[in-house]
Chain A
Amino acid sequence: MNAALGTAGVALGLAASLLGVVTLAVGLRSRRPKLLRVGRSYAWLVLGGAVLATVAMERALITRDFSLQYVADNGSTATPALYNVATLWAALEGSIILWALILAGFTVGVVVKFRTRLTDPLVGWASLVMLVVCAFFFMLLVGPANPFTTVAGAIPTDGPGPNPLLQNHPLMAIHPPMLYLGYVGFTVPFAFAVAALVTGRLGEGWLAATRRWTLLAWGFLTIGIGLGSWWSYEVLGWGGFWAWDPVENASFLPWLTGTAYLHSVMVQERRGMLRVWNLSLLLSTFSLTILGTFLTRSGVLDSVHSFTESPIGMWLLVAFAATVVVTVGLIGWRGDRLRSPGSIDSPVSREGAFLLNNLLFAAFAFVVLLGTVFPLVVEAVNDERISVGTPYFNRMTAPIGLALLFLMAVAPALPWRKASGELLWDRLRWPTWAGVATLVGAVAIGARGISPLVAFALGGFAAAAAVRQLALAVGAARRQGASPLRAFVGRSNGGMIVHLGVVVVAVAFTAASSYTTSATYTLAEGDSATVAGHTVTYEGMNPEDVSPQRTLVSARVRVDGGQVYEPALNQFPNATQTIGTPSVRVGATEDVYLTLVAAPEREGGPVVLGVIIEPLASWLWVGGGIMGFGTLLAAWPTSRRRREDDPVPSAEGGRLPAADVARMEDGEAGRDDVPVPSGVG
């Protein structure tokens, strides 16, 4: 029943995608608006198919229908409800269903949002591209990643359940969907970029149409990455939050190129430049999501030679290659129309800063990509196995990160076109002092080491620059009568809040990775150990907690004579290794991270306890939250657009129509910002 329902859903999705592609293609070719309008119904049908497949799989998981191979492999009667629902994305086939569902949702979102422009070839082509991508993912569900194959032979009565690491923390229920919303969300700007290339309408129209979609996708990706990092901190038990693991890198790569795009697109909106570059960034962001899926899902990372074992690897590799070839071909074909009309007058200008920003982000992405695939290349070429791990990534990316922090402080203060040293110094004076004060403060409380100190100083500098920018813009909006909340809404204010979040993450990352103290102690009952000024006292074991899902042993550890924390070890019935559950005393200045390394071998015996003191770790998630909030503010629809003749205060005290100000002032603020009064004429 579930298998039939699910297969029907997949078939419906695939058929509707293909028919939709054909209908739109014919409609676009023969210019028949009627056919283009029909395209909308196909998007809804695709969504219907995806929903049907999802419902069938969830139903199978919830009713424990072990006749499905996927449920037999990943489900279990003992899995608690939350993790049972989340088992949909615990393995390859199910996660492709989730991918298809989200993709179909975005496709419907596009046809609904642009319902009045369905006959516009740009929208028609974009919907067509979305449907092609839909068709590809439904093909995966029909072919190499079919989740609805039934068990051959006797139907088992129980299954092993999902990987123990995936049923150990509630974050697993939200991290993958968030990440996928981000990945898949970038399909929308990608589709419009391809549509712009095909139709030759390479002006700024498609950029404006996809601005919010891109922000939304970026915001989801940011939150997804943040939650993944939080999950690994809470679950993996080594106190780390970022391991430069290929799976993490795969999510980080599109984030890097997407971030570069969000910045450089402003140069195109404002000056009409960098068209090829912006298209390339979007196209590579999408390609990188496919490449990332290939890297993490094909088994290629275990060994070059293992990816042929799973047929999906070949499919994803072909899709990646096809995307790259088609998009590079399109850009080459349209090369003549992509010549930018403008030019950049001075490197010391807002657009110069954005270019440098892009150079740094591209270099960052290149390092991460190279480090991730390099072992594969070396193995393929030389049959030699090498590792590229954390020390490499840290050493290569730290300078880039520091340069980006510096740029983040200076760039918002730079005017478009050309800056004078005097103006720049005037705007950066107090942010500079804030950076200096941060540095002196950090040294005073005992922080040591050149690169962490430089990071703190630049963090203070960048944070103050963002606050200054915010204060000016919000102040100006308030004087115009905007409500205190409304004054914060908008792209540049949201952007500055995202910057603040980045600074918080950067400072926390630096502190937690530079000043962590870790130690392992063997303690008898009642014994204490002191590490980095914190005393941990082992007070004994809790009684064993046995449930069908797992057996849990936990120790009672009192921290600094206060509350008791209970790090634990889980034994899952179908896993050989025990899985730890760390217990963390979260603090504003530092976390005390406790792990149970080994339970006592006999009743009342000594226990092996891991203690990690990690400064500022909790600020990583706070910073991630701030970034998400800032993105929301930037994408929030403003109640009304500023009209050309809205009055804004001018420096002369009089009132000037907005349009004149926008044209004349060198302006710190972008087009849809509230203009900052800064010396007109």
Chain B
Amino acid sequence: MKRTLSILVPLLVVVVALVVGSSGSDGPKTSAERAQAIAGTVRCPECQGQSVASSDAPAAVAIREEIDRRVAAGESEEEVQAALVSSYGEGVLLNPPGSGVAGLVWVLPVAGLVVAAGGLALAFRRWRPSTAGPPSEEDRRLVDAARRRRRAGP
């Protein structure tokens, strides 16, 4: 009982803290925040792998301005991204699309992890010990005897 309690109490504290901590994090966002978030998912065509949110290259600045304009006009994230894809191609989005051949990039790691974890679980089953169980009285006597011999010195 005491032990159950000593595990339950920290668990309860964690749940309460996480509930408190997750509230208030997703209030209504300002359009500047939304534009910033979208810019983080759009690739800067002139730089290696940077998003337009983190680059001051001219092309990045131009795309950022377009995002600001579209967000201010009330477009959703999907609409803005679709508009950018139609003018710059699929490669402008840092997140690969979820469908088609490109969708494999999302599926493969998850599938790989599931297969590997399954393999590991199977391996553990196969490894199930054949000689289980705590040491017997005889084992203990043997160890004690060895210990006494050692203590007595060579």
Contact = CB atoms under 8 A, between A and B. Distances in A.
Interface of A: 237-240, 243-247, 301, 343-347, 352, 355-356, 359, 362-363, 366-367, 370-371, 374-375, 378, 381-382, 384-392, 396, 422, 425, 429, 432-433, 436, 439-440, 442-443, 447-450, 453-454, 457, 518, 577, 580, 595, 597, 610, 654, 656-657, 660, 664, 681
B143 A453 contact: no
Nearest to B144: A681
25 contacts: A239-B54, A240-B54, A245-B49, A246-B49, A359-B117, A374-B102, A375-B91, A375-B96, A381-B101, A385-B90, A386-B90, A386-B91, A387-B94, A387-B96, A425-B3, A436-B10, A436-B14, A439-B14, A448-B22, A448-B23, A448-B24, A449-B25, A660-B147, A660-B150, A681-B140
Contact of A370 (B6, B108, B117, B147): B108
Contacts, number: 159
Contact of A366 (B23, B24, B92, B109): B109
A237 B22 contact: no
B18 A454 contact: yes
Given A362-B116, A386-B96, A343 B109 contact: no
Main secondary structure of the interface of B (DSSP, over half): helix
Given A359-B120, A370-B105, A371-B105, A448 B25 contact: yes
Nearest to A396: B109
A681 to B, nearest CB: 6
Contacts of B109: 363, 366-367, 370, 396
Interface in B9-54: 10, 13-14, 17-18, 20-25, 36, 40-41, 43, 48-51, 54
Interface of B: 3, 6-7, 10, 13-14, 17-18, 20-25, 36, 40-41, 43, 48-51, 54-57, 89-97, 101-102, 104-106, 108-109, 112-113, 116-117, 120, 123-124, 127, 129, 132, 140, 143-144, 146-147, 150-151
Nearest to B92: A387
A580 B55 CA distance: 11
A10 to B, nearest CB: 31
B54 A238 contact: yes
A250 B53 CA distance: 24
B102 A386 contact: yes
Nearest to A239: B54
Contacts of B93: 386-387
A237 B14 contact: no
Given A243-B54, A429-B6, 10 more contacts: A238-B50, A301-B48, A356-B120, A366-B112, A385-B90, A392-B105, A439-B17, A439-B21, A449-B22, A518-B36
